[in-house]
């Protein structure tokens, strides 16, 4: 029986992969890092790079371990990636780079139904990142899960327009997207067009998933990167929206009739270094354990109170460096199995 079974963002969680901050670093600057992570900077020479401070790594690993222990107490199986050296330089025939990290498996691994997909990330530094999960993927394959990889991208310079901090600079030269551009709502897949996901990527995903699923591209919401600090789905018919990004004009038609809760003001948890990888809205990046239970960063007191108003119990846990490393509890995980079946929530 397939160990991979995921149809949405809220069914009861049974198995999850939790990332690791060990050996995390910012890769050496190149056009992909400039376009995707730091488009607001004028030139590549302004981009920070190198290993994160050891205390950031150690404190994050402490926090992740507490998170893992909490998940296990809830009866959830937890797996972790193999630790690899991201300082090693690798190259193709067209470019060379070093690595980033394995802190955010949500970015590079997509699970839909019984399928696990290695996505075509537009960041050169993440080209080989899924190697850390290969042993896990083999186990899933042997259980009956489907394991595929998107067409390996070349990531030539023509994939990126000149960044200006405002407009999308990822071109349609080839299919490119990170898994964190995607949220699952049963048979419907919400796909954000941004610097980390292009239209060709959405077209490839639809062609791969086939007629059983409907991929909905969303525009003019958040040009920078991911979708999971713009929407958080709590249960069927209920979604938290980022009020700085979402309004009546740009909300995806798919969910316009769902109850929309404006996310309250985020507590700024600060960051280490010159420039953070995430905005204060990383506080929205929490994970639903089931429709009635969430794990939220403990400093987000306004968000916690709001969730409790909607009868959602919250386990508040510490995650000290989400802005520095670019991920909250949602990004630092990939849900592998949620108890439930494929449903059509919109009756197309």
Q: What is the Cα gyration radius of the chain?
A: 19
pLDDT at residue 169 tops 70: yes
Q: Residues 202-213: pLDDT tens digits?
A: 999 999 999 999
Number of alpha carbons in the 13 Å side-chain half-sphere of residue 114: 11
- Please tell me whether residue 232 adopts helix, strand or coil conformation: strand
Please tell me the total count of domains within the chain.
1
Q: 164 falls in which pLDDT band (50, 70, 90)?
A: confident
Query: Which ranges of the chain would DSSP assign to H, the alpha helix?
Result: 31-36, 54-73, 105-108, 134-142, 199-209, 301-309, 322-325
- Please tell me whether residue 341 adopts helix, strand or coil conformation: coil
pLDDT at residue 163 tops 90: no
pLDDT at residue 28 tops 90: yes
Per cent of the chain over pLDDT 90 is 96
Q: Could you tell me if residue 147 is inside a domain?
A: yes
**CA dist., res. 124 & res. 33, Å (int):** 8
Q: Could you tell me if residue 347 is inside a domain?
A: no
Q: 335 falls in which pLDDT band (50, 70, 90)?
A: very high
Q: Six-digit token pair at 45?
A: 């020479």
**Pick from 5-9, 35-39, 288-292, 304-308: least confident:** 35-39
Q: β-strand 214-218 against 188-192: which pairing, if any?
A: parallel
- Chain centroid to Cα 66, Å, comes to 21
pLDDT at residue 290 tops 90: yes
Write down the pLDDT at residue 162: 87
Question: By C-alpha distance, which of 84, 50, 78, 55 is closest to 66?
Answer: 78
Q: Could you tell me if residue 311 is inside a domain?
A: yes
Q: β-strand 50-51 against 25-26: which pairing, if any?
A: antiparallel
Q: Could you tell me if residue 293 is inside a domain?
A: yes
Q: Residues 65-98: pLDDT tens digits?
A: 999 999 999 999 999 999 999 999 999 999 999 9
Q: Could you tell me if residue 218 is inside a domain?
A: yes
Domain range for 260: 13-338
Q: 170 falls in which pLDDT band (50, 70, 90)?
A: very high
Q: Could you tell me if residue 261 is inside a domain?
A: yes
Q: 281 falls in which pLDDT band (50, 70, 90)?
A: very high
Question: By C-alpha distance, which of 53, 2, 3 is closest to 25?
Answer: 53
What's the Cα-to-Cα distance from 332 to each of 6, 226, 249, rounded to whole Å?
A: 17, 13, 31
DSSP 100-168: --BS-HHHHEEEEBTEEEE---S-GGGTTGGGGGHHHHHHHHHTT-EEEEPPPP---GGGBPPP-SSS-
CATH (domain of 108): 3.75.10.10
Write down the pLDDT at residue 213: 98
Q: 166 falls in which pLDDT band (50, 70, 90)?
A: confident
**CA dist., res. 91 & res. 318, Å (int):** 37
The predicted model gives 222-244 an average pLDDT of 95
Q: Could you tell me if residue 164 is inside a domain?
A: yes
What's the Cα-to-Cα distance from 113 to each of 145, 178, 209, 343, rounded to whole Å?
A: 9, 18, 10, 11
Mean pLDDT of the chain: 97
> Between these two residues, 151 and 222, which has the higher pLDDT value?
151
Q: Exposed (0-12), middle (13-18) or buried (19+): which is 54, by Cβ within 10 Å?
A: exposed
Write down the pLDDT at residue 37: 94
Name, in order, each residue with C-beta under 8 angstroms of 163's C-beta and a sequence gap of 6 or more. Answer: 34, 35, 38, 39, 40, 41, 169
Q: 112 falls in which pLDDT band (50, 70, 90)?
A: very high
Write down the pLDDT at residue 165: 75
- Please tell me whether residue 188 adopts helix, strand or coil conformation: strand
Per cent of the chain over pLDDT 70 is 100
- Tell me if 227 sits within 8 A of 181, measured CB to CB: yes
**CA dist., res. 314 & res. 17, Å (int):** 21
- Tell me if 198 sits within 8 A of 172, measured CB to CB: yes
- Tell me if 245 sits within 8 A of 269, measured CB to CB: no
Q: Could you tell me if residue 136 is inside a domain?
A: yes
Q: 348 falls in which pLDDT band (50, 70, 90)?
A: low
Q: 284 falls in which pLDDT band (50, 70, 90)?
A: very high
């Amino acid at each position: 029986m397939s160990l991979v079974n995921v149809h949405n963002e809220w069914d009861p969680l049974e198995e999850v992969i939790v990332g690791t901050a060990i050996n995390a670093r910012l890769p050496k600057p190149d056009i992909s890092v400039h376009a995707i992570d730091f488009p607001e900077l004028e030139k590549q020479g302004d981009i920070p790079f190198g290993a994160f401070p050891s205390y950031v790594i150690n404190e994050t690993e402490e926090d992740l371990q507490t998170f893992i222990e909490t998940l296990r107490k809830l009866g959830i199986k937890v797996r972790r990636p193999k630790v690899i050296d991201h300082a090693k330089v690798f190259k193709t025939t067209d470019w060379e780079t070093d690595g980033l990290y394995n802190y955010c498996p949500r970015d590079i691994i997509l699970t839909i139904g019984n399928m696990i997909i290695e996505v075509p990330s537009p960041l050169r530094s993440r080209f080989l990142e899924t190697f850390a999960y290969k042993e896990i993927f083999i186990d899933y394959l042997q259980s009956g899960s489907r394991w595929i990889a998107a067409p390996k991208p070349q990531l030539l310079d023509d994939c990126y327009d000149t960044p200006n901090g405002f407009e999308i600079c990822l071109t349609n030269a080839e299919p490119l997207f990170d898994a964190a551009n995607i949220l699952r709502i049963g048979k419907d897949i919400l796909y954000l067009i941004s610097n980390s996901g292009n239209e060709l990527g959405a077209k490839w995903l639809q062609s791969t998933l086939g007629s059983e699923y409907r991929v909905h591209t969303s525009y003019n919401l958040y040009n920078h990167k991911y979708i999971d600090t713009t929407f958080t789905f709590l249960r069927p018919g209920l979604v938290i929206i980022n009020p700085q990004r979402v309004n009546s004009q740009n909300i995806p038609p798919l969910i316009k009739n769902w109850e929309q809760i404006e996310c309250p003001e985020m507590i700024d948890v600060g960051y280490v270094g010159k420039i953070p990888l995430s905005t204060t809205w990383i506080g929205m990046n929490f994970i639903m354990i089931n429709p009635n239970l969430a794990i939220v960063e403990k400093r987000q007191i306004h968000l916690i109170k709001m969730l409790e108003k909607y009868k959602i119990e919250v386990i508040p846990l510490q995650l000290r460096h989400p802005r520095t490393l670019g991920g909250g509890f949602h990004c630092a995980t990939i849900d592998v199995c949620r108890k439930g079946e494929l449903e059509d929530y919109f009756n197309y």
